[in-house]
Structure 1
Amino acid sequence: MSQRKSAMAETCPVARSLDLVGDRWSLLIVRDAFDGTRRFGDFQRGLGVARSILADRLRRLVEEGILAVQPASDGSSYQEYVLTPRGEQLFPVVVALRQWGEQHLFGAGEARSQLLERATGLPIAPMQPHGAGGQVLGPWQTAVHKPAAP
């Protein structure tokens, strides 16, 4: 089986990001970490992922500084996986995917989980990119500047 080529030499931030968290399991692990999951067994039960795949993804997320391993908060002999500040910065990515899915992948009245603001109990507002002046930007109002080839 051939090895997948790393995108870390790419000049595109999207390609590099996907190289790290673009597979299904990695991003679902991060999602569950935001929801409070911390232990290997809890990740496995919640996701239904094979132990070997989960161990591989957790190892990589720790190596890349997205998760950190620490002793269990209850004093037991277990270890826990917690989001690092770098991992916490993936929150807008998870929210954007959630909101896109809510808008495009569920029928009217279909049951789904909701992300609510703790203080109010209300759904959070839709995420949208804004320009320097605060205006909402569409894709046609942006441009990607690519570096010159070496």
Structure 2
Amino acid sequence: MIRKSTLISFLIAIILAPCALSAQSTAAQRARWMEQIRKTKFEFFTKEVNLSKEQQNQLFPLYEEMEKTIYKMNREAEALMKKTAADTNASETEFEAAATAMAKTTLQQGEIELDYFNKFSKFLSKKQLFLLKQAEEKFTQYLLKQRRSK
């Protein structure tokens, strides 16, 4: 009996090992992909906004902080939306709360961006602030175009 359970455990380990490696590989690939996008985006911003080295050193950490804050907020709203959508017994009040939270997310994102816009204005010119907003749009369009061409 011990041999049988050991054999079963061994077989399960052999079967699951590639899955675990695949998951790690996928996570590693995703991390590399995200790092490449980050690098490309900052190179794009540097060129489009004509950033000095000092401005890059000031902008990029703050910009990443802003993106992480917005990402976290969006994930929380998305989780609430999925939870409510999956609840077959959700009440009208719960649907209203989820819809309101989703609508507020857009408002909060704007407030976060405005807060960071004010932080950026301490070391970017007014023209550079304008060019940064344009560069964000251009970069998004660039990514969409890249995705469509694959």
Q: TM-score normalized by structure 1?
A: 0.27
The structure that is helix-richer by fraction is 2
Q: TM-score normalized by structure 2?
A: 0.27
Structure (1 or 2) with the larger CA radius of gyration: 2
Considering Cα pairs closer than 8 Å and 6+ residues apart, tell me whether 1 or 2 has the greater RCO: 2
The structure that is strand-richer by fraction is 1
